Structure 1
Amino acid sequence: MVSVDDTAPDFTAPLTDIDGDIELFTLSEHLDEAPIVLAFFPAAFTGVCTTEMCTFRDQMANFEDIGATVYGVSIDTPFTLSEFAEKNNLNFGLISDTNRELVDAYDVEMDFADLGVNRVAKRSVFVVNGDGEITYEWVSDDPGVEPDYEAVEAAAAALEGPAASV
């Protein structure tokens, strides 16, 4: 599993931006946006995942104040994520990992075997600094548990972002 002080696995994947546009996103090309918060979630339009992404939405000003950039990551298609973002007024980009490359690279795969749904993302959060290193990681084996948003914010605040005001 990817841990604190590891180099964040680089990736290129479809990103649905806040305007609903879809483009390719490469992590290493966005390190100037650090600290970067990668919030993995199992699936759009599900209860806890919607609550989690809406909580990040509602706390976005706090992350912007410290110069952090938040991205949600799931195995959903870019088109599903576009609809999910629009329906929930999300104010950050969503990364589509339909090929499960990020789930594999960050080692956050889980199954809902009783539902026949396999290889979704565990609910997890990684904070990446401008050098591409993981400075915070939280991974839950329980899909019903949300991250400690204050801890994520504190981890991001500990880094100097381009617009940091702390």
Structure 2
Amino acid sequence: MVSVGDSAPDFTAPKTDIDGDIESFTLSENLDDAPVVLAFFPAAFTGVCTTEMCTFRDQMANFDDIGATVYGISIDTPFTLSEFAEKNDLNFDLISDTNRNLIDAYGIEMDFADLGVYDVAKRAVFVVDADGEVTYEWVSDDPGVEPDYAAVEAAASQTVEEASEAA
């Protein structure tokens, strides 16, 4: 699993923007928008996942104020994520990991074997700085647990402060 201090695994995947447009997204090409918050969630249109993404939506002003960019990531198709974003009025982009390359690279796959559902993302959040280094990681083995949003915001803010001091 990816940890603080590691280089964030680079990836290219389909991204659905807030207007519903789908385009290719490469992490390394978007590090100028750092800190980048990668918020993995198991599946769109499920209870806790919807609550989590809506909480990020409701707190976007805080992330915008510190210059952080938030991306939600799940194994859903870009088309499903587009509908999910529209139905929940999300104000940040969503990344589709239908091939499960990202959850594999970040080491956060899990199964709901009793339901016959395999290889979905654990609920996890990574903050990545402009150099591509992971400055914060939170991973839950319990899909019913949401991240500590204040801790994610504080980590992103700290990443900004450290970048300012280094400049």
* TM-score (structure 1 length as normaliser): 0.96
Structure 1 residue identity aligned to 2:119: R
Superposition deviation, residue 128 in structure 1: 0.1
* Identity fraction in percent: 83
1:160 match: secondary structure: helix
Tell me how far apart the structure 1 counterparts of residues 38 and 108 of structure 2 sit (CA, whole Å).
12
How many pairs does the alignment contain? Answer: 162
Tell me how far apart the structure 2 counterparts of residues 63 and 160 of structure 1 sit (CA, whole Å).
11
Which residue is 1:154 aligned to?
A: 154
Gaps in structure 1 of 5+ consecutive residues: none
Instruction: Point out the structure with the larger helix share.
Output: 2
Which residue is 1:59 aligned to?
A: 59
Residues 42-61 of structure 1: CA deviation (Å, up to 9, x unaligned): 00000000000000000000
1:158 match: secondary structure: helix
Which residue is 1:126 aligned to?
A: 126
Which residue is 1:115 aligned to?
A: 115
* TM-score (structure 2 length as normaliser): 0.96
Which residue is 2:95 aligned to?
A: 95
Residues 123-161 of structure 1: CA deviation (Å, up to 9, x unaligned): 000000000000000000000000000000000001228
Which residue is 1:32 aligned to?
A: 32
2:57 match: secondary structure: helix
Task: Report runs of 4+ in structure 1 exceeding 2 Å deviation.
Answer: none
Structure 2 residue identity aligned to 1:149: Y
1:30 match: secondary structure: helix
1:137 match: secondary structure: strand
2:146 match: secondary structure: coil
Q: Does 1:2 align with 2:2?
A: yes
Gaps in structure 2 of 5+ consecutive residues: none
Tell me how far apart the structure 1 counterparts of residues 130 and 18 of structure 2 sit (CA, whole Å).
22
